[in-house]
Structure 1
Amino acid sequence: MGGAGAAPGAVRAPMDQVGVCGLDSAGPLFRSARGASYGTAAGISSRGLRGVGRTQKPESKKQEAGDRMLVAIDTATDYASLALHDGFQVLVEHTWESPRRHTVELLPRLAAALEQLGLRADHLSGVAVTQGPGSFTGLRVGMAVAKGLALARGLPLIGVPTLDVVAAAQGRDRRPLCAVLQAGRGRICTAIYRWRGGEWRLREGPRLTTWSALAEETTSPTLFCGEVDLVGAEALAALGELAVLLPAATRLRRAGFLAEIAWRRLNRGEADDPATLTPIYLQYPT
């Protein structure tokens, strides 16, 4: 696939800026679990975060169970997902449709996931979060919770581009992989990946485009995954053998794959600075 047309650029946005993939803002950030100044997210209070991240002396057995326990948070779009991963396997994963409800649903879901394993936030050893592209509000909520936990608990924080998580769910293939997110107003966010070294690696993007432009640029057999709507499915079907739309179940973005990407980075000794990790949004070049 080529880069014909006006290819937008990826921009890492300060948390107080508006405009992620062309979607609108819904509010500032909230305070950390220890009460440090961290703003307020729309509808998420510092009390709500303290309920998840309160400091308590854990029982030794439970602390041992949580010595390696990473929470992965993905609220980048209307589909939200979170997972608890011990570095070997996914122990809990919740993925659900949450249009404009991340603010009220994320913390209760996180508390329920920890409770399912008999753990508290005290037992976490790392936090991963999708950093975009995605909806402005969704990214802000996910970033706020992830940064709050990381700062309050002193945990390493890993930010992962949203489309990397989409690609990670797909199996090995020699053909290029195009991962897609809906961007609103007839636009889509896309990135192209190639299988290298046992994983899908970014080759091009992310960028904003349209289904018609993407179809025109597809000149060799390509796999497509992610948020493919009816318009996209029709555009891809018209390409015949040039477009392979992967099964719907594998196109769903899951936090378990976000956690696996994060663990690979943590095992290499990598982590992001909560003070500088910012969302990625896309814009057309001026």
Structure 2
Amino acid sequence: MGYQSITSGGEEPLIWAMYRLGQLSLPLFGFWFGPVSTGSDTGELILGGYDTTKYTGCFTYATVAVKGFWEFVADSIGVTVGSTTTTIASAINAILDTGTTAAILGPAIYVNAINSILGATWNSTFGWYTVNCQTKPLSAFPNITIIISGVPFTLTPLMYIQIAGGPSNYICYSVISTISQNDANSNPIWILGDFFLRRFYSVFDMQNNRIGLALSTSYSTIQTPPSTLFQSTTTLFPPSSTTTNTVTTTVALPAQCFNYTTINDTTRLTTAGANGVCDSTVFSSTSTNVPTFVRFVSPGGTR
């Protein structure tokens, strides 16, 4: 689903070929991942459009920096514990990748710094960092924020800690790990994977060469941790009154705004600028009487 430069034989990108052949109104696609299995939809891919029921606010856009994977430059990544924020790295080259399970992959020097703040240790048996979730309170773990085009995208602890095992042998993983890879311009690469994308609806726009992120409707839906873990922190996560086996975090959500209208075969998006005022961009299509989008939904069940 990336650009032509990374295809094995120089093939035309699928999304662009479908658009050129009149099968899609727009050469873009949208992804939504459900963070908790509820027995219903757990994911959705739309070719040629996006699902307005799966996000709130508006899209924040970043221009594609290298036309290969969906790579862009994020302002910074930082961690916050209490009122103290530490910037880990600035002007990072990041890729949105639906094929990467982790929340964040990055250069070892920076990822090791993040995991050090988490108190995580490398587990060579499992190939992931692990954290102390038996006795360490959840409030001691930081929020992790990536700033993109001036807008914060924040992961709270239970969004980047994966709990495995059973009552006698729970293991908690930090799904933040290392990668040693450079892009075509020799820039070290960061990857934002599924654990990140579960919280933010993503749009990949090949016409305007940009990625877009908006707050997922499932942002605050988090699986309840076992009562024996993260001692003395259960009061921070009251059960949701509307969703089974989930809790709602109290973190401030990214400030965004969105307006959407459709005029014939033209979709207008208004996106939040750095000053909080929306700037307008018009998507236009030369095709007429073509499908707006193609929708794929993954079946319910465990992801």
Bin the TM-score by the shorter chain. under 0.3
Structure exhibiting the larger radius of gyration computed from Cα positions: 2
**TM score, norm. by length of structure 1:** 0.24
TM-score (structure 2 length as normaliser): 0.23
Identify the structure with the greater strand proportion. Answer: 2
Higher helix share: 1
